[in-house]
Chain A
Amino acid sequence: MWPQQFDYQRADSVESALAAIGDNGKFLAGGHSLLPAMKLRLSTPDQLVDISRIDALRGISSNGNLSIGGAATHAEIAASAAVGAACPALAQACGMVGDQAVRNFGTLGGNIAHADPASDPPTALVACGATIHIQGADGSRSVGAQDFFVDLFETDLQDGELITSISLPDCSDCQCAYVKLPHPASRYAIVGVAVCLKMNGGTCAQADVAVGGATVKAVKCAGAAAALVGSSLDDAALAAAAAALSDDIGDWLTGDVAYPEAYRSAMAGVFLKRAISAASS
């Protein structure tokens, strides 16, 4: 646990952070993914630019859409009344990251930039239609969460770019939830499922479903969603959605010796039902 030598500087603005990052630098926010990787020498940046105290990256605002600073902590998001009202699935997911100490330091921007497939927030962001706002030396751009997560630990984020904020459409007329089966060792998701439903009377008018943990990235599941829309979320619809879900995630499915693909795939269907139940209650 002895990292290679590196320089450290603290940035006081997004612009100064972007100017400082260099060719082999890394932005440091909470450090809860980066520092362990550095200690194991899996990551060997020559400098860290600390963005955790840049005011423009902090805070959560809500006027119609929800906007969360890239350096907002999981604990802040989990405790935020605005997030809880507009997108409870994200608040739930952020509240399941690590333990309290990790949530107090770890940031949403850092989390999604790292793109651990078993992390909780990406799944909620994909289901809830989040947009990732990115700034680089050449200006700013935005990308949907579904397109932001590309593959295992791989995102659309380019070298030298910084996640400034994450925005979510107001979902206060939806019913959404995130549930997971935690790995007993790490408490990362063996499978995590987020759903976002709009009900019209007893009928599901719109549905969004995403799965993580069981997959190499957070995956949006259109087939499962389609099976729910138009139904009353009855047992037959839930069974059809669970069956469709295994097709949705099939190309992205992953597993290991302890929790193989077959188990994770089966649990994705189980936890889809549990997510719908949680969202509906």
Chain B
Amino acid sequence: MSTRIFGSGIKRREDPRLITGEARYTDDIKLQGALHMAVVRSPYAHARIVSIDASAAADLPGVRAIFTGSDIGDLAGLPTAWLIPESDLKTPEHPALASDVVRYVGDGVAIVLADSRYQAQDAADAVLVDYEELPVVVDPHEAAQAGAPQLHADVEGNIAFRWAPFDKDASDAVFAAADVVVSERILQQRLLPTAMEPRAASAQYNAATGELTLWCTSQNPHIHRFIVSAVTGLPENKVRVIAPEVGGGFGSKIPCYPDEALVSWAAMKLGVPIRWAETRSENYLTTIHGRDHVQFVDMAASNDGKILGVRATVYAGMGAYLSTAAPGIPTILHGLLYVGPYTIDNVYCESIGVMTNATPTDAYRGAGRPEATFLLERMMDKVADALDMDPVALRRQNLIPPFADGYDVAAGLTYDSGDYEAAFDKALAMAGYDDFRAQQTQALQEGRYLGIGVTAYTEMCGLGPSQVAGAVGFQGGLWESATVRVTPTGKVQALIGASPHGQGSETTLAQIISSELGFPVDDIEVIHGDTTETPMGWGTYGSRTTPVTGAALAQASRKLKEKARVLAAHLMEANPDDIEYADGSFSVKGSPDQAQSIQDVALMAHLAWNMPEGMDPGFEESQFYDPPNFVYPFGTHIAIVEVDPVTGSIDLQRYIAVDDCGPQINPEIVAGQIHGGVVQGVAQALCEGVIYDDNGQLLTGTMLDYCMPKADMFPNFELGETVTPSPHHPVGVKGVGETGTIASTPTVYNAVLDALSPLGVAQIDMPLTAAKVWQAIQNANGGN
């Protein structure tokens, strides 16, 4: 075993169980005597419940109980856990079942508990609900206008919050004095997270002990425990939340949903285990959606290409209720990112959270930062166009110069480290930018429309210092804790409070421990996803598990290493200062034949036959780690596309991504994260998008209509990296889980608009479907 395990692209240790079908997900857990829950859901986007008649349903075979909203008075409503300060935030009641008014298609009105899932669904279909339809609004900008249908009596004008902690006068002054101002209305369409595993929840309650166990698809079981305790009234130490194998989340498994509360409540009420798993159709209706911004954006520049300011008014669709973290997404995680990698001295964001008759939105991969990066990069291209400058030259001129330890930006953040131009140059060299422009000109003469998009980005992740969390209203901390526990035979259990669900963290975190302590990586198990087994943690999201949990594990490992050094010295009757360590072995300086392996030391610590004075037995250390700052990965992405002007179809020909996430623990896993992120982001640009009709019916309710990206849409990605360590992180790493999604959407969008520019097309709402591109070409030149 070599310390070079850090940086090695070893295979993911999770994969054998995942690819052989041996992984156990929530719905794989069979509970003796369990009843199955089906939820009766509203077919209307906004309606008053006149009456509910469950009598026929109750008589069907296998039906054990049916409950409506009026039966669950002892189950508290779902809380919102990100309370943005100074935003006049309203948090409308979110009951687990609607008893008065339904506010989106899919809102639950009753639950059926039956012996089998088929019987539960039969009975759910037989519950007769009489509705009186109410007017509907789904567009967040429309919903914020006077006269729009109102969703909640206590949310006047549907405005849940209005957040703008910036100096408006200063912004106005910059724009008034600027040589050039470009403007655009940008639509960040709604997206469906579409984790491969839909949500599921099962609960079991022991009335004698008062203990509830909840198995659920969670990215943060400790937060789920916190919320389930709050809504059921059970003490937190009587609630055990287990996130077994979780098949992806992309943010959609952060929130606590009505369904998790309902299985818990029903298990307590009926005294039998309750199981529930959503169908894909339910997933599309009721699991949170992402994005949904209508943005009005301006960028100011001087004639010589200096970007002077950016400002935006953002109408952010919250959907029918405020989901767990929803208010934080279009505010803290969005407006603070308007500087990007550029020397922009003035930013202003007014973000308005708007209730609509649609599925609640919340964090979706990137969460606020893709929406910021897109507007910034779109406006950079528009400024370049207005100034008749090369968009690459414009970006280069405005990049923040290299810095290694802290850089304050106008939005109030302090970036940790960056060398933006290095990544920029590398990506441009890989793409052959100058040659491409010549090819593009040549192709145009042949009637072919090629385009290139170049995005420079930085983003804030590794969430984050708890003090900042408190200051911005996040109802929790953002530290992580971890325990490194070594058994007498020298095998390692690493217990973490975070809850990875597909990221490969069991591999990367084991690599950190292995490189710190010298245990072979195969001797290290990373244990997560159970509030009783693991120490407290705030969860896996915001590209934070490697930066925060990884730091906790590195520091716990270092404590153990120090203990091992002192114990090894004692065992070898040497001075601790004379002990040398290499590759899991402690030896006395000058006498290399005398050595104690880390495994020897661990055994002796457990036996405790011969301990130094004052040293406790055992070989285990825990560490709470609260990061002193966020981490700020960065890079440059480039896309080359060809547009068929006859059909509007887009061919993505090349995709170049140069990302800097500090030293890479496992380059294969980093590449996998970038590949997946790029695919998700490109899909937003080209094909994904929720469509509601005017009645709030989801028209993209299945994968027949909602376009998931497919492998044949993509070329082989060309990846490169630069390495700029984070100055504050114990091993220098930054998060990389969201960079692909953050950078790729504007990259491909700008490439397509570059290709269309000779045809006079300047703007198309995403996604850039063939029909929309074709229509834009027709509109621009009358079809000629």
Contact = CB atoms under 8 A, between A and B. Distances in A.
Interface string A19-54: 000000000000000000000110000000000000
A41 B646 contact: no
A184 B280 contact: no
Interface string A180-217: 01011110101000000000000000000000000000
B775 interface: yes
A266 B646 CA distance: 9
Contacts of A259: 769, 771
B281 interface: yes
A267 B117 CA distance: 45
Interface in B756-784: 769-771, 774-775
Contacts of B120: 2
B647 A258 contact: no
Interface stretch (B63-71, B424-432, B560-568, B697-705): B697-705
SS class of chain A's interface: helix, strand, loop or mixed?
loop
Contact of A1 (B280, B647, B705, B707): B280
Interface string A232-275: 00000000000000000000000011111011001100100000
B708 interface: yes
Interface in B653-710: 686-687, 691, 693, 699, 703-708, 710
Nearest to B691: A257
A5 B125 CA distance: 13
A129 B710 CA distance: 35
Contacts of B687: 184-185
Given A4-B122, A258-B705, A270 B775 contact: no
Contacts of A40: 281
B407 interface: no
B703 A181 contact: no
B716 interface: no
B403 interface: no
- Size bracket, chain B contacts: 20 to 34
A94 to B, nearest CB: 19
A258 B686 CA distance: 13
A5 B771 CA distance: 41
B237 interface: no
Interface residues of A, number: 24
A5 B116 CA distance: 12
A174 to B, nearest CB: 26
Contact of A186 (B647, B703, B769): B703
A263 B691 contact: no
A267 B703 CA distance: 23
Contact of B691 (A181, A183, A258): A258
B461 to A, nearest CB: 30
A183 B703 CA distance: 11
B532 interface: no
Given A4-B122, A40-B281, A270-B647, A263 B771 contact: yes
A263 B774 contact: yes
B647 A2 contact: no
A42 B231 CA distance: 37
Contacts of B647: 181, 267, 270
A185 B704 CA distance: 6
B279 A1 contact: yes
Contacts of B646: 270
A212 to B, nearest CB: 16
B121 interface: yes
Interface in B100-127: 117-118, 120-122, 125
Contacts of B281: 1, 40
Given A5-B118, A259-B771, A267-B647, A185 B280 contact: no
Contacts of B648: 263
A215 B212 CA distance: 56
Contacts of B118: 2-5
Contacts of B280: 1
A162 to B, nearest CB: 27
A156 B125 CA distance: 32
A184 B699 contact: no
Nearest to A3: B118
A5 B647 CA distance: 45
A16 B56 CA distance: 37
Contacts of B708: 185
B703 A185 contact: yes
Contacts of B699: 256-257
Given A1-B280, A186-B705, A257-B699, A181 B117 contact: no
Contacts of B707: 183-185
A181 B691 CA distance: 21
Given A4-B122, A270-B647, A181 B770 contact: yes
Interface in B114-162: 117-118, 120-122, 125
Nearest to B648: A263
Nearest to B703: A185
B282 to A, nearest CB: 9
B702 to A, nearest CB: 8
Contacts of A188: 704
Given A257-B699, A258-B691, A266-B774, A184 B121 contact: no
Interface in B277-313: 279-281
Given A258-B691, A270-B646, A186 B771 contact: no
A263 B775 contact: yes
A258 B704 contact: no
B185 to A, nearest CB: 20
18 contacts: A1-B279, A2-B121, A4-B122, A5-B118, A41-B125, A181-B647, A184-B686, A184-B769, A185-B703, A185-B704, A185-B705, A185-B708, A258-B771, A259-B769, A259-B771, A260-B771, A267-B647, A270-B647
Interface of B: 117-118, 120-122, 125, 279-281, 646-649, 686-687, 691, 693, 699, 703-708, 710, 713, 769-771, 774-775
Given A258-B691, A270-B646, A270-B647, 6 more contacts: A1-B281, A181-B647, A184-B686, A184-B707, A184-B710, A260-B771
Closest 4 CB pairs of A and B: A185-B707, A2-B121, A263-B771, A186-B704
